A and B are shown apart, each in its own frame.
Chain A
């Protein structure tokens, strides 16, 4: 999805070498389900969080992934197979989530992205850098409201106070700023 700002910025942009690195995984497996869980829960959570943007849903979807995957997955599978299976389950779980909530796919998981999140070591999240890029080029006040609200976790009241505007103005400004950022992002793709 080229206009998904949570997806890779250029689909398939990994170099051939990167792709190879992502896919070489250890042959050894896990001893039991608990090991599978402990080794992968943070990876799965981070991947899902980057796609839903809030803790509650990331937790619910992480739970869903492990509940769904535990049944069909063989403990004897190799680490690579387990991670590939978890990645595929994440994709399905996310797609189902959006379908049930909104009837359309807001964000989706690209297989290469999933692989990078589940790799050894897992990819550093580029979400903070990406967020900064989304904000670049916005007029100062529009950028500021989005920084305060999304990156600094201010309530709408706090943000309004910080900027010296009314709450109503802050809401409108936030709405417009998001639209502006969306248009700018869309124009780049």
Chain B
């Protein structure tokens, strides 16, 4: 069998043996040509035609249901690790595919980024008022800008968190998504929790957690953040 047959077969065989495609992006030299692609499409159509194969398992449905229920409730439970990590790992385990977790291209795993983000500690930092308690009344993040940085304030338990509002990947400004209580990067869709932890990303390697900022609340309800001097 020649090499091209082998390469084309690799995609199809993964499929027909019930495996997902080989994880990660297929290298440019191995992208199927038109004929291989047509054969691969046939393989998908045939595989999808296996009687009663297209129903999800009870286990999957239940597990995803629980994860989504937790996700909707995230104000009360900031994730220590990303839910996609948990779910992808569970799916891989259930399928008996050893070691698949690290390679799932759809769901990145923050790995070391699970560590608590360090707080920004500028040498000539200044405490600057950026918001009042009222701005945080609805439980969602409040974006602020000073002459030295942009960031997001959010309630956290009985306290507050403040994080940089710049994506640690390439410097795009993050936007707050109130409904899911996430900070999202419009450039590559990386998602951070309000405390700066990376929640999900398709990037290789994963962007680091957002730098945390020191924050304090004054008696009169003003919230101040320790920021660098103006640029």
Residues of A within 8 A of B (CB): 3-6, 33-34, 37-38, 41-42, 45-46, 49-64, 66-67, 70-72, 97, 100-104, 106-107, 125, 127-132, 134-135, 146, 149-151, 153, 155-156, 168, 171-172, 174-175, 178-179, 181-183, 185-186
Contact = CB atoms under 8 A, between A and B. Distances in A.
A56 B95 contact: yes
Interface stretch (B52-60, B114-122, B129-137): B52-60
Interface of B: 1, 5, 8-9, 12-21, 24-26, 28, 31-32, 35, 37-51, 53-57, 60-61, 64-65, 67-69, 71-72, 83-84, 87-88, 91-92, 95, 97, 100, 104-107, 177, 179-180, 182, 202
Contacts of B92: 56
Given A63-B64, A100-B106, A101-B25, A53 B47 contact: yes
Contact of A53 (B8, B48, B55, B95): B48
B184 to A, nearest CB: 9
Contact of A45 (B43, B45, B56): B56
Contact of A59 (B8, B60, B69): B60
A78 to B, nearest CB: 18
Given A37-B68, A54-B18, A62-B64, A150 B177 contact: no
Given A5-B41, A53-B47, A71-B179, A179 B56 contact: no
Contacts, number: 207
